[in-house]
């Protein structure tokens, strides 16, 4: 889709201004129902579009992303733009700098339509936890789009953006991509700089694209990846054109299917996965059953490590350093002793009114697990099991090139269906979190749709690859995309 629009721009079939206005018109028409966006950036978007049109008029060459409109998840900083992470405590926060991925996209000439809705501080699997209201699934407005990057996925699925950026801590790009019928890529940990992303869990977070096609995901990854001196965890990887690996062939690739992963799925989801496996066999890939014996511990490991890192990262949001400040005594004159008391009250009140119930729950879980007497029993033990899971993946990747799993155990569920039971919501991550725990690249691709209450709903499947082998992940995903299931 990006290449098609690029060709239209350079062939003068459409101008960048016309394209941008077309997308804003769609947002105006659709987004009241879907609520994919929290903040629109119309003025700066049209200004960038005019610059692109001026270059084309002058006969200058433009890059593949120049003039192509996209959406940015609202936990990624854009200088001078309101950045809330869908939390009231950051309601009046305007970022003073660009995230590195934003810098890269600006240099590529991309256009930003606005900031997309999300679960508060990226904590959720349905985008119902946004402090500003839930996003709806474009395929069925009574269902969730997934989370936490639900606004980004819904914007792409509803044609309110050509592409979008999301963040993925335990499946927050791939799960909404599956629910909304689009492509979602979580790169290898370190492939893309996290500088300028509002951190949730620093050893798990990764920024990646949500797009209509695998080729578009490869285009975005080519722009946003690479070493960054502002992020000590970014890898020494060099810029490359990932679209050059999209050969359409999977012959010779060994794809692993995890023993037991399909046993407890619903009949519809299992049938969808079996069609995907058959498709890869027909294309010439070798399908091999593998074992990940410690992967069954991934969910408890994740829900110990992640809250611990949340507890650390969200300590900075106290109503003093950033965002909303609740101060009932701002007009009073107090002595030094009273000032100490009022500072504590500011901390407590700002967090009480500024932070929602899900972040509070995870902060408390993490603080407890890190506390004296419990650190070794919980956090340290979880990190040891994390190492065992990583070793399982190393053994598996000695036998296969890729691992194929469902992205989610179910298609999109109804709004409100799981909000009262956090454990049921957490189980939505059961297939996706392992990629974050071990740091491998993973992609969700739309598979055969399934019938839900008499209606066809999208459902994705997931491919996980070896560390820093986005090339084969994208190659196999693209091959499936261009060879429809029979």
* CATH code of 159's domain: 3.90.1300.10
Please give the full DSSP string across 111-130, using - where no structure is assigned.
EEEEEEP-SGGG--SSS---
Q: State the pLDDT confidence band at 339, using cuts at 50, 70 and 90.
A: very low
Within a domain: 237:
yes
Average pLDDT, the chain: 93
Within a domain: 417:
yes
The range of the structural domain enclosing residue 267 comes to 1-317+355-481
Within a domain: 341:
no
Question: Does residue 121 have a pLDDT over 70?
Answer: yes
Question: Does residue 381 have a pLDDT over 80?
Answer: yes
Percentage of residues of the chain with pLDDT beyond 90: 84
Question: How far apart, in whole angstroms, are the C-alpha atoms of residue 452 and residue 266?
Answer: 11
Q: Please identify which of the residues 87, 125, 148, 158 carries the catalytic annotation.
A: 148
pTM (two decimals): 0.95
Please give the full DSSP string across 137-157, using - where no structure is assigned.
BTTBTTB---SSSHHHHHHHH
Per-residue pLDDT, 332: 41
DSSP state, residue 192:
B
CB neighbour burial string for 292-306, b if at least 16 within 10 angstroms, e if fewer = bebbebbbebbbbbb
Q: Is 259 a catalytic residue?
A: no
For the segment 134-156, the average pLDDT, to the nearest whole number, is: 98
Query: What's the CA dihedral at 406, 410, 414, 416 to 10 degrees?
Result: -90
Q: Does residue 86 come out as left (phi exceeding 0), alpha (psi in the -120 to 50 range) or beta? A: left
Q: State the pLDDT confidence band at 485, using cuts at 50, 70 and 90.
A: low
Per-residue pLDDT, 27: 98
Within a domain: 322:
no
For the segment 419-426, the average pLDDT, to the nearest whole number, is: 82
Measured from the Cβ of residue 238, the count of other Cβ atoms closer than 10 Å reads 8
Residue from 244, 142, 126 nearest 178 by CA:
126
Within a domain: 84:
yes
Question: Does residue 336 have a pLDDT over 60?
Answer: no
Question: How far apart, in whole angstroms, are the C-alpha atoms of residue 133 and residue 37?
Answer: 11
Per-residue pLDDT tens over the stretch 57-114 = 999 999 999 999 999 999 999 999 999 999 999 998 999 999 999 999 999 999 999 9
Q: State the pLDDT confidence band at 132, using cuts at 50, 70 and 90.
A: very high
Within a domain: 332:
no
Q: State the pLDDT confidence band at 347, using cuts at 50, 70 and 90.
A: confident
Within a domain: 346:
no
Q: Is 73 a catalytic residue?
A: yes
Please state the domain count of the chain.
1
Least confident stretch, 165-169, 259-263, 388-392, 421-425: 421-425
Per-residue pLDDT, 342: 72
Q: Please identify which of the residues 172, 193, 195, 298 carries the catalytic annotation.
A: 172
Per-residue pLDDT, 267: 87
Question: How far apart, in whole angstroms, are the C-alpha atoms of residue 292 and residue 366?
Answer: 27
Percentage of residues of the chain with pLDDT beyond 70: 96
Within a domain: 347:
no
Per-residue pLDDT tens over the stretch 165-215 = 999 999 999 999 999 999 999 999 999 999 999 999 999 999 999 999 999
Question: How far apart, in whole angstroms, are the C-alpha atoms of residue 82 and residue 288?
Answer: 48
Q: Is 148 a catalytic residue?
A: yes
Residue from 184, 236, 175, 190 nearest 208 by CA:
184
Question: Does residue 464 have a pLDDT over 70?
Answer: yes
Per-residue pLDDT tens over the stretch 208-255 = 999 999 999 999 999 999 999 999 999 987 779 999 999 999 999 999
Least confident stretch, 281-290, 342-351, 456-465: 342-351
Q: How far is CA 82 from CA 36, 75, 78, 91, 315, in A?
A: 16, 10, 8, 8, 21
Least confident stretch, 147-151, 280-284, 314-318: 314-318
User: Is residue 446 a contact partner of residue 174, using CB atoms and an 8 Å limit?
Assistant: no
**C-alpha atoms less than 13 angstroms from C-alpha of 226 in its C-beta half-sphere:** 16
For the segment 312-318, the average pLDDT, to the nearest whole number, is: 91
For the segment 29-33, the average pLDDT, to the nearest whole number, is: 98
């Amino acid at each position: 889709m990006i290449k098609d629009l690029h060709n239209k721009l350079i062939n003068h079939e459409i101008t960048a201004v016309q394209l941008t206005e077309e997308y804003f018109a769609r947002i105006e028409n659709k987004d009241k129902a879907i609520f994919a966006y929290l903040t629109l950036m119309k003025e700066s978007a049209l200004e960038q579009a005019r610059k692109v049109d001026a270059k084309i008029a002058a006969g200058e060459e433009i890059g593949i992303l120049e003039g192509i409109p996209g959406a940015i998840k609202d936990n990624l900083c854009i200088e001078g733009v309101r950045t809330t992470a869908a939390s009231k405590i950051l309601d009046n926060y305007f970022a003073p700098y660009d995230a590195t991925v934003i810098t890269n996209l600006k240099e590529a000439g991309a256009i930003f339509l606005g900031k997309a809705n999300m679960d508060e501080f990226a904590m959720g699997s349905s985008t119902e936890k946004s402090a500003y209201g839930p996003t709806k699934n474009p395929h069925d407005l009574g269902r969730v789009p997934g989370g936490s990057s639900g606004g980004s996925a819904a914007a792409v699925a509803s044609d309110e953006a050509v592409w979008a950026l999301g963040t993925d801590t335990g499946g927050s790009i791939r799960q909404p991509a599956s629910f909304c019928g689009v492509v979602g890529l979580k790169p290898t940990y370190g492939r893309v700089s996290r500088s300028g992303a509002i951190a949730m869990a620093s050893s798990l977070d990764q920024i990646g694209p949500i797009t209509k096609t695998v080729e578009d995901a490869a285009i975005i990854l080519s722009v946003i990846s690479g070493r960054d001196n502002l992020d000590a965890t970014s890898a020494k990887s060099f810029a490359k054109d990932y679209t050059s690996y999209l050969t359409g062939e999977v012959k010779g690739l060994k794809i692993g299917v995890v023993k037991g992963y399909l046993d407890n799925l619903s009949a519809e989801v299992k049938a969808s996965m079996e069609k995907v496996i058959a498709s890869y066999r027909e294309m010439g890939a070798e399908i091999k059953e593998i074992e990940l014996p410690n992967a069954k511990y991934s969910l408890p490991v994740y829900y110990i490590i992640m809250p611990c890192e949340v507890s650390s990262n969200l300590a900075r949001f106290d109503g003093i350093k950033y965002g909303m400040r609740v101060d009932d005594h701002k007009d009073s004159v107090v002595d030094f002793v009273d000032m100490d008391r009022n500072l504590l009250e500011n901390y407590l009140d700002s967090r009480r009114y500024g932070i929602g119930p899900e972040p509070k729950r995870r902060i408390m879980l993490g603080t407890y697990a890190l506390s004296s007497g419990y650190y070794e029993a919980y956090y340290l033990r979880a990190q040891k099991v994390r190492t065992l899971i990583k070793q399982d993946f190393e053994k598996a990747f000695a036998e296969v090139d890729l691992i194929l799993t469902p992205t989610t155990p179910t298609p999109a569920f109804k709004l409100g269906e799981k909000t009262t039971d956090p454990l049921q919501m957490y189980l939505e991550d059961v297939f996706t979190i392992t990629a974050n725990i071990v740091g491998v690249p993973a992609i969700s691709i739309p598979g055969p749709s399934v019938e839900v209450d008499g209606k066809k709903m999208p459902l994705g499947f997931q491919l996980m690859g070896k560390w820093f082998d986005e090339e084969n992940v994208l190659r196999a995903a693209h091959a499936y995309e261009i060879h429809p299931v029979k």
